[in-house]
Amino acid sequence: MHVLRRVLAVFASVALLAGVSLSASSTAQAATSCSGTVTYDQSVSHNGSAIGELVIYYNSSNGGTNSACFYHRGASYGVSATTSVEIYRCLQTSGTGGGCTVDASSRIDKGSYAYNAGPVGVTGTANYCVYAYGYVNWAGHEYSVSSGTRGC
């Protein structure tokens, strides 16, 4: 009986430690939404009409949280197409529009969407640049937006 209790205690401890390590590993990523202060937005066009738009948002929670969404616009709105978005926290603290040395990354949200990919987000971005990338496959081509460093 004592052995059974000891074995159960060990399993419970291992399960608890596994849960702690899993939750600690995702500190750069938080529950995000496509809301907050817009810090960047850029559209991409097909035949002169916007078909997609990358938007980066900021809010001050969690030491600064940036989120990104890639929205369908115009003719692509409401039509399922492969769409993707991702965002990175950079090591840089200045240099808007430049390259990014990645410090932390969001998950990549890629799928067949009719309205938008995202939200994806990174935390701890106060005083750091972020970089986002998104695209939509439309009319046989990939139409993408790369933000360069923003929010520095």
CATH number among 3.30.1560, 3.30.1940, 1.10.3470, 2.60.40, domain 37-146: 2.60.40
Per-residue pLDDT, 9: 40
Can you list the positions of beta strands (E) in the chain? 37-46, 49-59, 65-72, 81-90, 102-105, 109-113, 116-123, 130-138, 141-146
pLDDT at 31: 58
Domain ranges of the chain: 37-146
Beta bridge pairs of residue 120: 68
pLDDT, one tens digit for every residue, the chain (152 residues): 443 334 334 333 333 333 323 333 333 545 578 899 999 999 999 999 999 999 999 999 999 999 999 999 999 999 999 999 999 999 999 999 999 999 999 999 999 999 999 999 999 999 999 999 999 999 999 999 999 999 99
pLDDT at 101: 98
State the pLDDT at residue 32: 74
DSSP secondary-structure letter at 94? S
Residues 6+ apart with CB under 8 A from 46: 75, 138, 139, 141, 143
Q: Which pLDDT belongs to residue 10?
A: 35
The structure's pTM equals 0.80
